[in-house]
Amino acid sequence: MIRPANFGYNSETAPNNSFQSEDTINDPDQLKETARIEFDNMVSILRSKGINVLVVEDSSNPVKPDAVFPNNWISFHENGVLITYPMYAANRRIERREDIIDAVGREFKISNRYSFEFYEDDQEPLFLEGTGSMIFDRPNHIVYACLSERTDATLLDKFNVLMGTTSIVFRSLDRRGNDIYHTNVMMALGEDFVVICMESIPDEDARKKLYTSFAETGKEVIEISLRQTESFAGNMLEVKGKENKRYLCMSETAYSALTLAQKEKLSAKTELLLIPIHNIEKFGGGSVRCMMAEIFLPLKKVKKHANRGVALISS
């Protein structure tokens, strides 16, 4: 995870991120401090459950208002692969930092590194924003993705060839009929469940294909509404803590949006871990899942904690 230095409203991502608030920020410095307090509290909550968290400090310069959301520019994989990605907003491309990769490499084995970011420099740039764009079913080698300006089908195909995965691709629209910009806004995949907004998918064949895939891979479908996605109910991440206990991390906003029946279904499978990040959500347009880039790389040394579901917290 990345501890933010200059958190704030990002006008470059706002055109296709409807979750960002346009409310006037009266005191930018106070907002930065509030974001750091929310971040530190989230780290404390995760660590209290035995979830291993690697925290990296954001650098003050250049200014990176969205550095707290590292999952968009990097992903880590069981086979030792590290991948960096092309970003839609120019001021998010500077979030890619070699010193962060070096910090990860000191604890984990990186056998191969692949860079997709040169696609953002093309005359007609293409984008694929990490685990914002792609939801990984790692055991079954499946990638789920809703297409948008930030998630290109051509790059998904290249990812599949590189990683030996198959993808299930679909369109997902918000209540105004616009493309939902990131898949992790409308879908979260757990060990034996999926939280998804089927209401956002207009194509019946695409919905049938998703239902079939979930049935074949043993995922109980827990559907959420479009209104619930607007409260970040799709932006969750399941991780493991002490003794491999499962936790579904979500914001307090997301939890409040869930119905009692949805909470009961999820609680029967995993412990719900609630995190208050109201200001980060409001002005950043991202939630708990976006703040964690999970590390599945092999550890260099055997440690007491498991090497699954480790969260890289960076700015």
pLDDT, mean of each 10-residue run, the chain (315 residues): 82 50 69 95 98 96 94 97 96 95 96 96 93 98 97 97 98 96 97 98 98 98 97 97 96 98 98 97 92 96 52 44
Q: What is the pLDDT of residue 122?
A: 81
How far is residue 106 CA from its own chain's centroid?
23
Q: Is 226:187 a contact under the CB 8 Å cutoff?
A: no
Residue tagged 């559907």 (tokens): 223
| Cβ neighbourhood burial of 307 (10 Å; 0-12, 13-18, 19+) | middle
Angstrom distance (rounded) from CA 40 to CA 262: 29
Q: What is the pLDDT of residue 29?
A: 87
Q: What is the pLDDT of residue 314?
A: 41
The structure tokens listed for 283 are: 């002005």
pTM here? 0.91
Angstrom distance (rounded) from CA 66 to CA 286: 9
Where are the chain's structural domains? 2-313
Q: What is the pLDDT of residue 20?
A: 41
Q: What is the pLDDT of residue 11?
A: 59
> Distances in Å between the alpha carbon of 283 and those of 28, 31, 91, 266?
11, 9, 16, 28
Q: What is the pLDDT of residue 306?
A: 47
Q: What is the pLDDT of residue 16?
A: 47
Q: What is the pLDDT of residue 241?
A: 96
> Distances in Å between the alpha carbon of 282 and those of 126, 174, 251, 301, 314?
28, 18, 12, 40, 19
2-313: CATH topology is L-arginine/glycine Amidinotransferase; Chain A (3.75.10)
pLDDT tens, residue by residue, 209-230:
999 999 999 999 999 999 999 9
pLDDT tens, residue by residue, 58-112:
999 999 999 999 999 999 999 999 999 999 999 999 999 999 999 999 999 999 9
